[in-house]
Chain A
């Protein structure tokens, strides 16, 4: 199974690094969508089937917390797994986001191995297939 992935980060560098890391980790992907903020991401989610979303917290226009809250309000977060990829180190905030339905959290900077382990756990997609 190949995943349709949405990467949400205002840094084009981070989006590129995540794409590169997915390739290095041999995570099978189909479409890889990109968005620079939560507002753009919600538009992508409204128009496309997405299997997995990577979201930064600190973004202009609409940050990751607001985006997660909108996805929770719409019930979307129950069907589309969300992984927070952020510099956030506050357990308080991470627990708050998990209570809203976020599936997992990866702290920057991350390794291909840590990303691979979390994606396999969340999606059930094995990279060894």
Chain B
């Protein structure tokens, strides 16, 4: 694994554990399925001394589990889906803020976009599986992927 992916894994693991008591680990290739359903891409960009973006590919169920853990609400709460999307966006926001410091130090100033969510189909998912810059992970044993790119 490259140094950049190791820092990404370390940061995301730390944030998810602190925010939501959820366990993140690197996945083996055979633990990532080829096809997915009900999966989202949470993404945001940054600009400043460097520009780039971060994207998290994750099943919707992880978003709702995150909301339940962070907010202490039940999984059958009528607003759990919206709370899940809000929580997963915030988790990525916190991860990116901490990653920028880990990669570039405390001096540069960056502007971050507001996180957005899109649906992901199997085609996009498979494209990410093949990308060596995409980190394959398990979040509480559920397959997911995260990618950080900069220029």
Closest to A12 in B: B86
Instruction: Tell me, yes or no, whether A124 is within 8 Å of chain B by CB.
Output: no
**Within the assembled complex, what's the spacing in Å between the Cα atoms of A123 and B39?**
45
Give Cα A60–Cα B71 distance, bound, in whole angstroms. 23
Which secondary structure dominates where chain B touches chain A?
A: helix
Contact string, B48-70, partner A, CB cutoff 8 A, digits 1/0?
Answer: 00000000000000000001001
What class of interface size applies to chain B in its complex with A? 20 to 34
* CB contacts between A and B, total, < 8 Å: 60
In the bound assembly, the distance between CA atoms of A109 and B66 in angstroms comes to 14
Q: Could you give, for residues 8-42 of chain B, a 1 whenever the CB lies within 8 Å of some chain A CB and a 0 otherwise?
A: 00000001001100000000000000000000000
Minimum Cβ distance to chain A for residue B76 (Å): 18
CB-based contact A88/B97 at 8 Å: yes
Residues of A within 8 Å of B, CB-based: how many? 22
Q: Is the CB of A90 within 8 A of B106?
A: yes
Assess whether A92 is interfacial by the CB under 8 Å rule: yes
A sample of 21 cross-chain residue pairs with beta-carbon separation below 8 angstroms, ordered by A number, consists of A11-B93, A12-B86, A13-B83, A13-B90, A14-B90, A17-B70, A58-B93, A59-B114, A87-B96, A87-B97, A87-B112, A89-B97, A89-B98, A89-B101, A90-B108, A90-B109, A91-B106, A91-B107, A92-B106, A92-B107, A92-B108
Q: Are A11 and B89 in contact (CB under 8 A)?
A: yes
Cα A9 to Cα B106 with chains together (Å): 23
* Interface, chain B (partner A; CB < 8 A): 15, 18-19, 67, 70-72, 83, 86-87, 89-90, 93-94, 96-98, 100-101, 106-110, 112, 114
Q: Within 8 Å CB of A17, what residues of B?
A: 70-71
Instruction: Collect the chain A residues with CB atoms within 8 Å of residue B72's CB.
Output: 20
Q: Knowing A89-B97, A90-B106, A90-B107, say if A58 contacts B90 (CB, 8 Å).
A: no
How far is it, in angstroms, between the C-alpha of A63 and the C-alpha of B31 when the chains are bound?
41
Q: Smallest Cβ distance from A3 to chain B, in angstroms?
A: 23
Q: Does A108 interact with chain B (Cβ within 8 Å)?
A: yes
Distance, CA A16 to CA B96, complexed state (A): 21
Assess the A87–B109 pair: CB atoms within 8 A.
Answer: no
CB contact between A92 and one of B90, B98, B109 (< 8 Å): that residue: B109
Q: What are the residues of chain B within 8 A of A58 when measuring CB–CB? A: 93, 112, 114
**Chain A residues with CB under 8 A of B83:** 12-13
**Other A-B pairs beyond A89-B97, A93-B109, 6, CB < 8 Å:** A13-B67, A13-B83, A17-B70, A58-B112, A87-B93, A92-B109
